[in-house]
Structure 1
Amino acid sequence: MFFPFYDPTMIIVIPFVLFTFYAQFKVKSTFNKYLDVSANKGYTGAEISKDILKRKGLEDVRVEQTSGKLNDHYDPKSKTVRLSSEVYQGRSIASLGVAAHETGHAIQHAVAYTPLTIRHSLFPAANFGSQLGLPIAVFGFIFFKSALLVKLGIILFGAAVLFQIVTLPVEFNASSRAIRLLKTGGYLASDELKPTKKVLKAAALTYVAAALVSVAHLLRLIMMAGMLDDD
């Protein structure tokens, strides 16, 4: 028997949650550091994003400015690269790196990059599973002592975990594309590529952390099911 509201499996997740905090700190500190370092050639994030898209023949993809900070993204439904104001208007190494990364996602979409296609197909199930899978399993474990509910939660949450795992190659590939595009397009000087990589690697840590936390939660749920099966 377990005490009400007590979940002994939470200890599995704690180290990865702490790593998530570190990853968030790392991306913010690295981005802010290189946001103050202007690129020598003077391009803005919007200019290089539009120019890359033009060179790739993707003139149906728009580049828009959006509000907020570090919420830059590519919207495949509307084929729009949305850049925060400091990236859209910025001329820094950080701004150009982020702009090229998000433009890399647009290129992935155009060439039907397999992991991105899989990620898009998983999104509905992953969104549903991320909202309901964990609560169903935890409530089933703590309140109802139901192995069936926990196993249902595992199935639902499994889709969210798979989504997080597939996201990793999507993000890594977008970053590697960004560096190649910045280099071959002549948007950055050779000595500016290394700090740009630091910005993109720091951003990638957040996706690694999210995947690890998801896997840790899935392991929790599997342990819960095992505990109830043993009772």
Structure 2
Amino acid sequence: MKNKTQYIAPVSLWLVVRKRFVEGGAIFIEPAWVGSSKAEEQGPVLFASRLLAEIYAHMRNTYHGPDDSNNWRAIPLSDFDLLDHAKGISGKLNCMMTFGFTMADSESLIVKTGAPRIRYAPLSFTLPDDIESITFSFNQWVFAFMKEEWTALGLPEFEKDLEVADEMDPVTFSRALKTAIALAKVCRNPHVGEDAFWGVYSVRGGQWVAGKDVEYMDRTIH
């Protein structure tokens, strides 16, 4: 199958999407978005980890609110037409490069409004008008930033975890995903003002690894 999005990045990128029927019966593939008061922090969520994307989809399907749905699933970025999606957005395309989850403590994901809160770095693209095809080149600085963040958690070689997950066969990956979900607690009512944590799941270590955040970040997902 032909790739719908060509891109250059040091790791594989993933989205979480759902199918929606719009006026006239057409199918719209909707990616998970970050909503924020800042224009540069509004856009589709791109995961630098296959496992984090699958965990996000599972949590959102399990804890979705009445105005949401339970048909979210993780797909490779190459299976999603990012350029076509960008054509429906006025201004820059802002991608929320996600590399971890915001947590209430060292064990609990925050899932207050139905979607897990995420830790991300915004990355913008200015696309030419009337362009028919493009190769998205994801700036190296954002991956250098992610590496610094993972290193701060005590995971200086977390990229190897990403590679291991990408290379797993379906049975092995399903087992790793189930283990990660089973080990994660869920906090539905976080206390504002308390120490904030963030973390990732290490497939090589078989455990969640979390640390305190310097600044509390309240991410609203829609």
Common topology (TM > 0.5): no
Which has more radius of gyration? Answer: 1
The TM-score normalised by the length of structure 2 is: 0.22
Structure whose residues are more often helix by fraction: 1
